[in-house]
């Protein structure tokens, strides 16, 4: 059952979507490519960072580029923890990992790292939006 959706300018809705993508990234089902799971982790990070940007009142482009999104927050004088800045490494999973032949297959280690980074980004975004 889906939760009631909030308006698109509500950072909580973006966090809900980030958590949904994070759950997808953690679902190791038979036949699911690690590339697809890494993409879900990347999307969780994107949506979590966009939740923070909405919370800060910052307009953002619809992009998969995590470096660009983190830079927007920093340009507003917002401090981004080092472990959250690691999310920039997930940008490669936005395109290259999703399409056959554009890059090497995602390894178990890369997948585990993507999920760990995404978990940290979502946790950080939740604390920012909650004001803690």
In DSSP notation, the chain reads -PPPPPPTT-HHHHHHHHHHHHHHHH---TT--HHHHHHHHHHHHHHHHHHHHHHHT----S---HHHHHHHHHHTT----HHHHGGGGGGGGGTGGGSTTSSPPPPHHHHHHHHHHHHHHHHHHHHHHTT-
Decide if pLDDT at 3 tops 70: no
| pLDDT given at position 1 | 43
Decide if pLDDT at 30 tops 90: yes
pLDDT tens-digit profile of 69-90? 999 999 988 899 999 999 999 9
To the question of pTM greater than 0.75 for the whole model, the response is yes
Decide if pLDDT at 100 tops 90: no
Instruction: Give me the domains of the chain, ranges plus CATH numbers.
Output: 11-129 (1.20.120.330)
């Amino acid at each position: 059952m889906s939760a009631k959706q909030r308006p698109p300018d509500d950072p909580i809705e973006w966090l809900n979507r980030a958590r949904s993508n994070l759950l997808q990234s953690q679902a190791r089902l038979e036949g699911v490519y690690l590339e697809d799971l890494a993409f879900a982790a990347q999307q969780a990070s994107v949506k979590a960072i966009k939740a923070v940007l909405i919370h800060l009142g910052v307009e953002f482009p619809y992009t998969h580029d995590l470096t660009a999104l983190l830079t927007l927050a920093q340009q507003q004088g917002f401090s981004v923890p080092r472990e959250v800045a690691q999310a920039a490494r997930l940008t490669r999973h936005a395109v290259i990992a999703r399409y056959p032949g554009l890059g090497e297959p995602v390894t178990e280690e890369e997948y585990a790292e993507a999920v760990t980074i995404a978990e940290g980004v979502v946790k950080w975004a939740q604390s920012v939006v909650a004001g803690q």
